Structure 1
Amino acid sequence: MEELTQKISERLKLFTNLKDALTQLDEGAVSAFVEDAIDQARSDGFTDSNIVRGASFLAAHFCNLASNTNSNISKQQASVLSIEYFDRGGSDDYLIEYNRLKKSLTQNTIRFL
């Protein structure tokens, strides 16, 4: 499990949009999110040959949520009113990619775009 956690933690650093989020979280929090992502990915059907890919996106989603640095904030501004709101129902690109990978498991293959 420790080797798997290390591989996923290293992959998280490859996501350039996640760098700010990772600096806001301590190492213990990131490790906990990685372990949670591994458990969830295993439950969802990822195997040893592809779990690093799936769990990396899920862990990135968890870190993104925990750091509260999400790009899904939209802002509308009029001369007297400004409204900020979160769209996409709490989802982000990392979760979308994880779900896409999970769906491809039913086709017995992992497909990247």
Structure 2
Amino acid sequence: MHKQLYRYLVIFIGGLSILLGLLGIILPLLPTTPFFILALSCFARSSPYFHQKLLKTPYLGATLQDWEKHKKIDKKRKLQIYLVVLSSFLLSILILRESFLLQLLLLLILSFLLFFIHRIDEK
């Protein structure tokens, strides 16, 4: 029973990640690739069918296959991720100029994100 519940929960998270990734294609401030990588990871643990479907998608399939095989991201894609993360966080910091603590929290989160993005190998 617990395994079945876990499987459905992970499939749900993968599906939600795909929806957020698709939304990221439309909205320039929402990153696409990290959501699809999360979905790929979820489906690898829960549904071989959805996992294979995601690997064969026309738009991101090759990038996801590279990620799965080599755990690397294309240099151009990594630069795009940097720009989207930086612009969205800086815009949020400007909007929240009345709250120094929230700005500080956003800067802290931004620092961690940039650190982890930097650690991803490039191909």
TM-score of the superposed pair, with normalisation by structure 1: 0.33
Q: TM-score, normalization: structure 2?
A: 0.31
Larger relative contact order, structure 1 or 2 (CA cutoff 8 Å, min sep 6): 1
Answer 1 or 2: which has greater helix percent. 2
Which has more strand, going by share of residues? 1
